[in-house]
């Protein structure tokens, strides 16, 4: 559970942190505030207890003096379907719709909803706002979000491309526009444990790699991304897998973990590759190839490219992956400066590159906080 605390008036970041290993062995809370970063052990068993501990920690560390000071809480919600196209104040009806959409994001929406309900119980005075990962991609054209399966299934079950990481892609779009001007044709590569690529036209989502679920598209930490769909029925038949077992293979046992055999963390993979581990090397190459293939196809869809952005854990910190991708795009006149890339500079393209290449840390929490602030400002003022 990640969190950031902002001052409503100044937009100043007061604290940020993360609860890790919730409900398993040795859970921890890492919190940064007042210029210090502290990691403390915890005994939390679930997300509800994590929220309780967070509230107490904020009080103990003097970040707030009273829980009543917290006037709004924003929540990242993975799947909003076609129902939620913008940040939405949480009501009982909204909660019910998020729960309905859990069938489309079973690993995400139930946990998102649990967080919403936990914060409501501890902060009943605060305005709860849901910000949806799918909302940014509502600008995609029908020809990009419709799957070539019988059309009736789109209408009956809502089977279509939704796209995810929308909050991150929107943050990058806003950041680039503010600091470099609005690019006509931009590709954002959000590369992390979950990875997606978004092609944008004039700052809006044009097409994206994640689809009906967050499993589609790129190879990820434990998710396979795009594969031949007949592999599923083949494994069901020959391994006698149930639907749940297939889900586990595709979502939890594939990707970097499945190919390397030992880790889903790109840092572990890169280290092992330097030590001659052939499966780690293969995992690196497959990951980079998938990114290159999608970036290449999106350049074709956009009919050119002005800006390429790398973001998220791998995108921000892996100079190796960035170099592997960019080396295969030199035919476009794209050229990166090796030293800038190794130093993780914001702009890593060389002075003679025809395409600007940027490395920008994403900040979904900031965008969510701004959405909450906007909703609070829209509330009627009581006389």
Say if residue 261 carries a ligand binding annotation: no
Say if residue 316 carries a ligand binding annotation: yes
Say if residue 76 carries a ligand binding annotation: yes
Which of 271, 360, 379 has the alpha carbon at shortest distance from 312?
360
Say if residue 190 carries a ligand binding annotation: yes
C-alpha pair distances (Å), 315 with each of 200, 219, 279, 357 = 18, 14, 21, 12
DSSP letter at 242 equals -
Say if residue 46 carries a ligand binding annotation: no
Say if residue 193 carries a ligand binding annotation: yes
**CA–CA separation, 45 vs 117, rounded Å?**
16
DSSP letter at 108 equals T
**CA–CA separation, 116 vs 1, rounded Å?**
12
**Structural tokens at position 181:** 């001007």
Say if residue 202 carries a ligand binding annotation: no
**CA–CA separation, 354 vs 307, rounded Å?**
9
Where are the strands (E) in the chain, listed by range? 2-6, 13-20, 28-33, 36-41, 72-77, 88-89, 127-132, 185-190, 196-201, 204-208, 307-311, 356-359
Say if residue 191 carries a ligand binding annotation: yes
Residue of 66, 133, 226, 228 marked catalytic: 133
Residues sharing a CB contact under 8 Å with residue 34, sequence separation 6 or more, in sequence order: 61, 63
133 catalytic, yes or no?
yes
Say if residue 317 carries a ligand binding annotation: yes
Beta bridge partners of 31: 17, 38
Say if residue 163 carries a ligand binding annotation: no
**Structural tokens at position 228:** 């031949």
Say if residue 296 carries a ligand binding annotation: no
Say if residue 230 carries a ligand binding annotation: no
Distance, C-alpha 343 to centroid of its chain: 24
Beta bridge partners of 130: 75, 88
Sheet of 307-311: strand order equals 204-208, 196-201, 185-190, 307-311, 356-359
CB 333 within 8 A of CB 355: yes
**CA–CA separation, 98 vs 137, rounded Å?**
18
**CA–CA separation, 310 vs 312, rounded Å?**
7
Sheet of 127-132: strand order equals 72-77, 127-132, 88-89
| Catalytic residue annotation | 133
Give the residue numbers of the binding site for Mg(2+).
364
Q: Which residue positions form the known binding site?
A: 2, 76, 190-194, 265-267, 313-317, 364
Annotated binding site for substrate: 76
Instruction: Indicate the annotated binding residues for ATP.
Output: 2, 190-194, 265-267, 313-317
């Amino acid at each position: 559970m990640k969190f950031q605390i902002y001052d409503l008036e100044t937009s100043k970041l007061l604290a940020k942190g993360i609860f890790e290993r919730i409900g398993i062995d040795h859970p921890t809370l890492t919190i940064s505030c007042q210029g210090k970063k502290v990691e403390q052990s915890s005994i939390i068993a679930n997300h509800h207890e994590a929220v309780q501990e967070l509230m107490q920690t904020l009080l103990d560390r003097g970040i707030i003096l009273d829980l009543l000071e917290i006037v709004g809480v924003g929540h990242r919600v993975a799947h909003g379907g076609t129902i939620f196209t913008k940040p939405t104040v949480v009501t009982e009806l909204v909660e019910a719709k998020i729960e309905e959409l859990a069938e489309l994001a079973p690993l995400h929406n139930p946990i998102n909803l649990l967080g919403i309900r936990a914060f409501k119980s501890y902060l009943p005075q605060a305005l709860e706002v849901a910000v949806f990962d799918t909302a940014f991609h509502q600008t995609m054209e029908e020809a990009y979000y419709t799957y070539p399966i019988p059309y009736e299934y789109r209408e009956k079950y809502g089977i279509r491309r939704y796209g995810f990481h929308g909050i991150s892609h929107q943050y990058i779009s806003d950041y680039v526009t503010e600091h470099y001007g609005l690019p006509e044709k931009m590709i954002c590569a959000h590369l992390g444990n979950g990875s997606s690529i978004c092609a944008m036209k004039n700052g809006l989502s044009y097409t994206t790699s994640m689809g009906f679920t967050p499993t589609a598209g790129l190879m990820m930490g434990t998710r396979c991304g795009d594969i031949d769909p007949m592999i599923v029925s083949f494994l069901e038949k020959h391994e006698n897998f149930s639907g749940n077992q297939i889900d586990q293979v595709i979502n939890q046992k594939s990707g970097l973990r499945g190919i390397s055999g030992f880790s889903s963390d790109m840092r572990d993979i890169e280290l092992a590759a330097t030590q001659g581990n052939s499966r780690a090397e293969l995992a690196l190459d497959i990951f980079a190839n998938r990114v290159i293939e999608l970036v290449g196809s999106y350049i074709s869809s956009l009919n050119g490219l002005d800006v390429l952005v790398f973001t998220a854990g791998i995108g921000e910190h892996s100079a190796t992956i960035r170099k592997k991708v960019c080396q295969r795009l030199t035919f476009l006149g794209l050229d990166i400066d090796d030293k800038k890339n190794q130093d993780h500079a914001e702009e890593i393209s060389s002075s003679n590159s025809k395409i600007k290449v940027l490395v920008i840390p994403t900040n979904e929490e900031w965008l969510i906080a701004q959405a909450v602030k906007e909703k609070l400002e829209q509330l009627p003022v009581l006389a």
